[in-house]
Amino acid sequence: METNVKQIKTTHKMATSKIGKLLFTMSIPAIFSMLIQALYNIVDSLYVSRITETNNELTALNYAFPIQMIVLAISLGIGVGTSSVISRCLGAKKQKKADDAAKTGLIITFFAYLITLGCSFFVPKLFMMIYHDSENIKHLSIQYLQIVMAFSIGSYFEVVISKILQGTGNMITPMISQLIGAITNIILDPIFIFQAGEGIGLPFGLGLGVRGAAIATVIAQCISGLFVTSIIIFKKQQVSFNYKQFKIEKIIIRDIFNVGLAVAIMNSINAITTIILNRILSSNGVTILGTYFKVQSFIFMPVFGLTQGAMPIMGYNYGAKEKERFLKTFQLSMLTSFIIMTIGLLIFQFGSEIITASFQLGDISNLAIRAFRIISLCFIPAAISIIISSMFQAIGHGYKSTLMSILRQAVILIPTALILKIITKNDDAIWWAYPISEMGCCLIFIFVTSYTIKHLFITKKEEIKAI
């Protein structure tokens, strides 16, 4: 009975609340959560850059970062795919299927972790064989990756459960979970990384270096994972996690993967692109690109948080056949994303000196400043592309999100980067591939989006039956 009451309240909120207020209340916690998530990406690097003056440790983490992104991409794919099914089912008043989707998502998550655990024994060593850098840097990267992959169970369940809760309209619990993890990581990092008196001058420390950064990260992730797991065990939610008489259905797995695979591929392509670019960049270029990705997450993460608030609203109103509310959510999300990314562009254009100084990049600071200013020109078209992609995910058109990612980060970006590298023979030219690829993709998919929305509610009866 309690679950039904919560369902009625959430249904009323999704169906009748003013879109502006609804998007704001659902997005703000998610934006805050994503900003906290960005701390995971940057805290290790900030501390590690202070271990020695060689930048070897920071370069090692930057080499490892794409593999971390792939692991995160898998969990995001499962989580967003499950969340998308749940929100559409709730909008279409299909409670049992929403319940089954949540339970199926957790089962898929467990098997995904087991695969990652198995890969942790050999993937890091094989991965670092493609690079021709010092053995010390390779060894540090392998150390870091083996730990974060083998103990990624906390990250997997934290991400997926958070996305499931967001699909039901619960944005507060994921925010608290991220906050717990980030604070834990910030506290543990200097303790595990530095010896007493080193780094930030703590009177105690284990002095484990890069290995310590990995251990601190996975402990923080496990604590976050335990928190969200306890929430769904001990507190009733809008979807049921009771596995009594539960039976896995192929159609639900298909629906989760229909959207989730697109999300996983979208994020994995970014990682694969980074791996390829790291291969053609100099060691300094690798350090610069890795540092850029850590910092730019503070600009992109709020937009991703916005999409987490917007997707359940769009998915629900698509399922409920509310065209006007669907369109208003999409348009307001687009405007908000544009504003956030414009602010980010200004920060990178006029504040790159401050950013590079924080990472103690030394002799390559000027090169990094130039790179940041060039790459950040992609922010405005990216603002449009991200919202378009989330809209496709919300309505179950995950394949279109996949096509966008392939176009942006494989079809356009990599060839452009390679051509510019061959012509100029320096790293500076490669940075222009980012704004070129984002602009090209944006221009193409504006037309695809216009066509999709125009025909979306004409054929929605057939599509909603397939939910």
Please give the pLDDT value at position 308: 81
pLDDT of residue 464: 46
Alpha helix stretches (DSSP H) within 120-171 = 123-128, 135-150, 153-167
57 and 51 in contact (C-beta within 8 Å)?
Answer: yes
Distance CA 86, CA 98 (A): 5
pLDDT of residue 14: 65
The pair of three-digit structure tokens given for residue 362, joined into one six-digit string: 């030394």
Cα distance from N-terminal residue to C-terminal residue, the chain: 25
Amino acid (1-letter code) at residue 324 = E
Q: What pLDDT is attached to residue 109? A: 96
181 near 216, Cβ under 8 Å? Answer: no
Q: Give Cα 451 distance to the centre of its chain.
A: 28
Sequence letter at residue 61: L
Look up residue 397 and give its DSSP letter.
-
Q: How is residue 193 written in tokens?
A: 């990384």
pLDDT at 315: 83
Determine the pLDDT at residue 214: 94
Q: What is the pLDDT of residue 199?
A: 67
In whole angstroms, how far apart are CA 7 and each of 11, 30, 36, 55, 90? 6, 20, 29, 52, 8
**C-alpha–C-alpha distance, residues 379 and 295, integer Å:** 13
DSSP string, 228-288: HHHHHHHS--SS----TT----HHHHHHHHHHHHHHHHHHHHHHHHHHHHHHHS-HHHHHH
Q: What 3-state class would DSSP assign to 99?
A: helix
Take residue 176 and report the two structure tokens written for it: 């608290």
Rama region for 236: left / alpha / beta (φ>0; ψ in -120 to 50; rest): beta
CB atoms within 10 A of CB 233: 8
Q: What is the pLDDT of residue 340?
A: 95
Q: How far is CA 297 from the centre of its chain?
A: 9
Tens of pLDDT along the chain (467 residues)?
Answer: 334 444 444 445 666 778 888 888 888 887 887 787 777 667 777 888 778 767 788 888 888 988 998 999 999 999 989 988 888 888 778 888 888 898 999 999 999 999 999 999 999 999 998 886 788 889 999 999 999 999 999 999 999 999 888 878 787 888 899 889 988 998 999 999 988 877 676 788 898 989 999 999 999 999 999 999 999 888 888 887 888 878 888 889 998 988 888 788 877 887 888 888 888 888 788 888 888 988 888 899 889 889 888 888 888 888 778 888 889 999 999 999 999 999 999 999 999 998 888 777 777 889 999 999 999 999 999 999 999 988 988 887 878 888 887 888 788 999 999 999 889 888 888 999 999 999 999 999 988 888 888 887 765 444 445 44
Give me the pLDDT at residue 4, please: 43
Asked whether the whole model's pTM tops 0.95, one would answer no
Q: Helices 56-91 and 2-16 sit at what angle, rounded to 10 degrees?
A: 100
Geometric angle at alpha carbon 298, from 24 and 300, rounded to 5°: 65
CA-to-CA separations, 385 to 124, 180, 451, in angstroms, rounded = 32, 31, 15
